[in-house]
């Protein structure tokens, strides 16, 4: 049997529609603020959906050399910025002595869609010779991890999960396993996304997946509410530093929480719809608890996938009941997508950080806009206002197109 090492979280980096930086985003979440507004990145007046969770005021030059910026799509810029925040927060120093033991797994769900649209237009209007030689590196998803690895000199495992809305969670879970099994001592892990573009919005509109509550942007994302009408797209990045406990203790690092469980399952049902009764999600949460070796009754908080879609919210609620039984009514469940929108491939990274901070700070963020609860959604979703409470164990759920499911379990650190 493999001797599994303990793994802890020592650094956090957040970029969301609520703010640039972990403190700004977290404080806005706790205050129940919405980051949803009218789309400004393109003219959306002809689209059924004209709202999104945009990141305002992001200046890539704050994090990246100006000459490098033109080589990167916005999703890569977000990833580098969030990684820089996480590395700075952790205090980790990557040197020639430890570089081989430091790795990166940062993924995205859709990648450089903005660059594809931009250079398809260049191709049509100006011809193939005007396509930048940086076009391919701008759009492929693993270049987020690649650029981070180059920037920090991390020479250990380097990969990128691409699992739709479960991307950030799979990235962190896979990084956790690499440290746990001794392949690395430190991992930079998370998710990033930036697809508030005509094709991105238009494509999800064609699926009738997005809210069209254009007149009330701040009220459009309303998970578990009877009047929800689809999700709201967001953008940003969430990146964390995972570290072996021995490494963290040796350098006297601040430890936010310990990661103890990771589960992954497939619905094997439909390309976009979740399996009936939430079977895949339930098995994923159960697998996470089994991996951690804890009973369902220890869990205090679940950061739900909670996208504000009719079917998804009901089935996630059913899945939680199936796994937790009567305890489902005793734990807190909230969807921070009610404030950030759905960051797709970045969602799992962002929501892992929310779960970690709920443990570290003893506060559970709310589900806003829960004015008329769906009768099928009858758990404690922490409506409207955050709640101060001791959180010892927190689960973060992510369920993606293609029936891919991922869950993480964090616990309060005790040496």
Structure tokens, 311: 């079917």
Both 269 and 245 in one domain: the answer is: no
Q: What percent of the chain has pLDDT over 70?
A: 100
pLDDT tens for residues 102-143? 999 999 999 999 999 999 999 999 999 999 999 999 999 999
Say what the pLDDT of residue 182 is.
Answer: 97
Structure tokens, 386: 């955050």
Both 308 and 231 in one domain: the answer is: no
SS3 string of 342-385?
ECHHHHHHHHHHHHHHHHHHCEECCECCCCCECCCCCCECCECC
Boundary residue ending a domain (206, 228, 250) = 250
Both 167 and 21 in one domain: the answer is: yes
Question: Whole-model pTM?
Answer: 0.98
Segment 273-277 mean pLDDT: 89
Please check whether residue 415 lies inside any domain of the structure.
no
The residue ranges of DSSP E strands in 180-245, in sequence order, are 186-193, 236-244
Say what the pLDDT of residue 4 is.
Answer: 92
SS3 string of 269-299?
CCCCCCCHHHHHHHHHHHHHHHHHCCCHHHC
Whole-angstrom CA distances from 197 to 41, 52, 111, 194, 211 are 7, 10, 12, 8, 16
147 carries an active-site annotation: no
284 carries an active-site annotation: no
Which CATH number goes with the domain that contains 199? 3.40.47.10
Q: Which residues contact 145 (CB under 8 A, 6 or more apart)?
A: 79, 104, 105, 106, 107, 158, 159, 160
End-to-end CA distance of the chain: 23
Segment 364-373 mean pLDDT: 98
Both 295 and 242 in one domain: the answer is: no
Q: Which residues contact 256 (CB under 8 A, 6 or more apart)?
A: 8, 9, 10, 12, 356, 357, 359, 360, 413
pLDDT at 190 over 90: yes
pLDDT at 1 over 90: no
The one catalytic residue in 147, 165, 170, 332 is 165
The one catalytic residue in 147, 170, 305, 407 is 305
Boundary residue ending a domain (226, 250, 274) = 250
Say what the pLDDT of residue 195 is.
Answer: 98
The DSSP secondary-structure symbol of 225 reads B
Domain count, the chain: 2
Both 245 and 349 in one domain: the answer is: no
Range of the domain at 284: 260-407
Both 314 and 242 in one domain: the answer is: no
pLDDT tens for residues 29-65? 999 999 999 999 999 999 999 999 999 999 999 999 9
Say what the pLDDT of residue 161 is.
Answer: 97
Among 327, 314, 308, residue whose Cα is nearest residue 393: 327
Both 282 and 154 in one domain: the answer is: no
Boundary residue ending a domain (224, 250, 276) = 250
Q: Which helix (H) or strand (E) holds 76?
A: helix 74-90
pLDDT at 2 over 90: no
Please check whether residue 15 lies inside any domain of the structure.
yes
Contact predicate 205/230, CB 8 Å: no
pLDDT tens for residues 198-243? 999 999 999 999 999 999 999 999 999 999 999 999 999 999 999 9
The one catalytic residue in 170, 284, 332, 342 is 342
170 carries an active-site annotation: no
pLDDT at 278 over 60: yes
Q: Which helix (H) or strand (E) holds 83?
A: helix 74-90
Using CA atoms, how far apart are residues 10 and 129, in angstroms rounded to an integer?
A: 46
- For 59, other C-beta atoms within 10 Å of its C-beta total 11
Say what the pLDDT of residue 3 is.
Answer: 78
Say what the pLDDT of residue 277 is.
Answer: 86
Both 308 and 230 in one domain: the answer is: no
Share the mean pLDDT of the chain: 97
pLDDT band at 312 (very low <50, low <70, confident <90, very high): very high
Among 113, 111, 260, 94, residue whose Cα is nearest residue 186: 94
Residues 246, 303, 327: CA angle, nearest 5 degrees:
100
Both 332 and 388 in one domain: the answer is: yes
Both 179 and 273 in one domain: the answer is: no
Structure tokens, 196: 């508030």
Both 243 and 272 in one domain: the answer is: no
Both 304 and 385 in one domain: the answer is: yes
């Amino acid at each position: 049997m493999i001797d599994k090492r303990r793994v802890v979280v020592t650094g956090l980096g957040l970029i969301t529609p609520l703010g640039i930086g972990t403190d700004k985003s977290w404080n806005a979440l706790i205050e129940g603020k919405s980051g949803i507004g009218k789309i400004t990145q393109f003219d959306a007046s002809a689209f059924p959906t004209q709202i999104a969770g945009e990141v305002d005021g992001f200046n890539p030059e704050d994090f990246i050399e100006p000459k490098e910026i033109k080589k990167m799509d916005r999703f890569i810029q977000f990833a580098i910025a969030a990684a820089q925040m996480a590395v700075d927060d952790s205090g980790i120093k990557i040197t020639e002595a430890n570089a081989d033991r430091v790795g990166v797994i940062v993924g995205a769900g859709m990648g450089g869609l903005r660059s594809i649209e931009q250079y398809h237009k260049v191709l049509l209007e100006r011809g193939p010779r005007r396509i930048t030689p940086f076009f391919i590196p701008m759009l492929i998803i693993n270049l987020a991890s690649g650029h981070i690895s180059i920037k920090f000199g991390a020479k250990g495992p380097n990969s990128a999960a691409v699992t739709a809305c479960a991307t950030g969670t799979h990235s962190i879970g896979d990084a956790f396993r690499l440290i746990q099994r001794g392949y690395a001592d430190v991992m930079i892990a998370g998710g990033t996304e930036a697809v508030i573009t005509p094709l991105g919005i238009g494509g999800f509109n064609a699926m009738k997946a997005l809210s069209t509550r254009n007149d009330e942007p701040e009220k459009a994302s309303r998970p578990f509410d009877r009047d929800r009408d689809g999700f709201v797209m967001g953008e940003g990045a969430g990146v964390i530093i995972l570290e072996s406990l021995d490494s963290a203790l040796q350098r006297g690092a601040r430890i936010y929480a310990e990661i103890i469980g990771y589960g992954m399952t497939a619905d094997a049902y439909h390309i976009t719809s979740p399996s009936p009764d939430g079977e895949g999600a339930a098995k994923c949460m159960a697998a996470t608890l089994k991996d951690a070796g804890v009973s369902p009754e220890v869990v205090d908080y679940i950061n739900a996938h909670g996208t504000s879609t009719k079917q998804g919210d009901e089935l996630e609620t059913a899945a939680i009941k199936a796994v937790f039984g009567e305890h489902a009514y005793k734990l807190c469940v909230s969807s921070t997508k009610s404030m950030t929108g759905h960051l797709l491939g970045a969602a799992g990274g962002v929501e892992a950080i929310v779960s970690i901070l709920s443990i570290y700070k003893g506060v559970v963020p709310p589900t806003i806009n829960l004015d008329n609860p769906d009768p099928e959604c009858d758990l404690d979703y922490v409506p409207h206002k955050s709640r101060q409470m001791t959180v010892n164990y927190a689960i973060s759920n992510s369920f993606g197109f293609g029936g891919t499911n991922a869950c993480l379990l964090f616990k309060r650190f005790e040496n």
